[in-house]
Amino acid sequence: MLFHLLKNSRLPSKASARYANEQLRLLTRNVSTAYTPPPPLEHSDWPANEPILDYVTDKNSTHRRELLKCLEEIQASLNDVPIVIDGREHRTDQIRHQLVPFDHKKRLAQFYYATVDLIKQAADVASARRRDWEFVPMEERAVIFERAADLVSGKYRARLNAATMLGQGKTIKQAEIDSAAELADFLRFNSTYARLLAKDNWQPRSTANERNSLEFRGLDGFVAAIAPFNFTAIGGNLINAPVLMGNSVVYKPSDTAVLSNYLILKLLQEAGLPDGLVNFVPSDGLDFGRLISADRRLAGVNFTGSLTTFQWLWTEIGLNVKRYEMFPRLVGECGGKNFHFIHESAHVDTAVAQTIRAAFEYSGQKCSACSRLYVPASLWDKQMRDKLVDRMRNEIQLGPATELDTTYTSAVIDARAFARIKSYLTYAKNTPDNNRIITGGETNDDIGYFVQPTLIETKQPRDRLMTEEIFGPVLTVYVYQDDEVDSTLELIDENPFALTGAIFAQDESFVKHARRKLRMSAGNFYINDKSTGAVVGQQPFGGSRHSGTNDKAGGPFNLLRWTNQLTVKRTIKPLTDI
């Protein structure tokens, strides 16, 4: 119904009454009455999703040539990334370097950790600049972010892709999906959603003697945005959504994505965003977290990262709750232990292909990546095992992300990630009674942080390989007996994470049954498709339980988290009675 409100203007009074009566009838109808759903909504006013360009088929395309040129330019020298507060650049003696994951002896960028004083200064600036920005009309704010989207899809496209490939180890296909298409989509769709919020159909009812209105103010303070390494677009959206709604941000990018995130700041400046609304402060995580959580003006935290970090922030904020001028809004996405469940009625080739994509694209470093697989015994031995192994061995090429035509996936992000993933592989090798590596399992960090895509079969459905987030190219399969469908669905639902999941089945009665059994097991649920690949405006993204607050980035309602609503009643005629 709220999606309906997003798209339709206020109805005339008689139509309103008819509409209200119809809604009441539907709500109070006998449960046995057949229900015909309303026709699908038209979204003609919504922007089209940014097209994903092909850099492989046509070797002479303009966009491929531009990308190759940017890759060469960015690698030609060490890229300097300053701290930026109120539009002014700062550099400290706490120098850090962003390395190329698939060639870790190469330094891609030099950046600087903000000192405690600079982080405090960023909070001061953000708190001050918000006051004027909030009074800028929504239409003017939206236009700035739409200009930014045009810069992403045009002038900055090749450079953003190149920075994401080199700094975050993404292939061109994965970089194009992320730093070009998804980033542009976030900017355009959020601008559209924000305009719709300002329309009359979100307003309360007025009477003959009173005019009632609902205003969407910014939050009273500053928002702290903390970004991950794995999606350039997520970093952009963590700042875009709050600022669009009248807020200002103190922004901590990931050390391993600092160059691409800095480019986002540059294009926002070029689009006309006033200085001081996004303050770019690479910094030590503990220093940043302690400072923002102790600041009485903290109005919100927009976070994507690890569960332990978000839990720590939540605890710190809870300990300081009496200090704040308002209760801070906490929005977080913390990863998952995402599943694919294969039913005996599944189309096997689809299940194989989509499982490989979900598990091994970007070396399993997507929050939504599939890392646990459940297959019935009747399909495993006869079909799925051999097909998975054959395609993994013959179609997944591991190599530098800059090899546009051959590399399927590249190195993992850094030495810490490499060591963590390797420890799980070592564990699997050391527990042969329960776990068997079917293919993969090797690692090499001589040049880059390379981990072979790995398939493990476990006999224990509650083994740590099936319950803990690994965040790497490791897929563990549990083969269940065909008459144990319900107990296996219950196993899936036990997991403390609930981000994404997929079922593969052609039996519609099972699909309905599984949707009920797995209702709380995922925030994004897929039927006959992979657990990854949510598209802005099509599949709003987020999960609950230990996966986060499920505030659905890429959908309209995420923006409401960054508003401080004000109800205004204005009486027309004098009131003299007592």
Residue 313 is classified by DSSP as H
Retrieve residue 198's tokens. 């300002």
CA distances from 383 to 58, 237, 331, 388, 530 (A): 35, 42, 42, 9, 19
- C-alpha closest to that of 149 among 440, 461, 536, 468: 536
- Pick the catalytic residue from 50, 134, 182, 333: 333
Cα radius of gyration rounded to whole Å, the chain: 25
**Helices 157-168, 62-76: crossing angle, 10 deg rounding:** 50
Residues making up the chain, counted from first to last: 578
Q: How far apart are CA 143 and CA 273, in angstroms?
A: 10
Q: In the structure encoding, which two tokens stand for residue 371, read together?
A: 């890392």
Place of tokens 């496209």: 157
Contact status, residue 252 vs residue 225, Cβ threshold 8 Å: yes
What is the per-residue DSSP string for 400-411? -TT-TTT-SB--
| Side-chain half-sphere CA neighbours of 238 within 13 A | 32
Which residue in the block uniquely carries the two structure tokens 């309906």? 4
How far apart are the C-alpha atoms of 142 and 139, rounded to whole Å?
5
Tell me the H-state helices in 42-171.
Answer: 62-76, 116-133, 138-153, 157-168
CB 431 within 8 A of CB 196: no
List of E strands, 221-282: 222-226, 249-252, 278-280
Closest CA to 531 of 335, 395, 382, 394: 335
Q: Is 490 a catalytic residue?
A: no
* Residue 292 Cα distances to 124, 399, 447, angstroms: 11, 40, 38
Token pair belonging to 192: 């559209």
Q: Indicate the Cα dihedral angle 270, 273, 279, 285, nearest 10°.
A: -80
Would you say 335 and 417 are in contact if contact means Cβ atoms under 8 Å apart? no
Locate 380 and state its tokens. Answer: 């495993």
Q: How many distinct helices (H) and strands (E) make up the chain?
A: 19, 23
Which residues are annotated as catalytic? 333
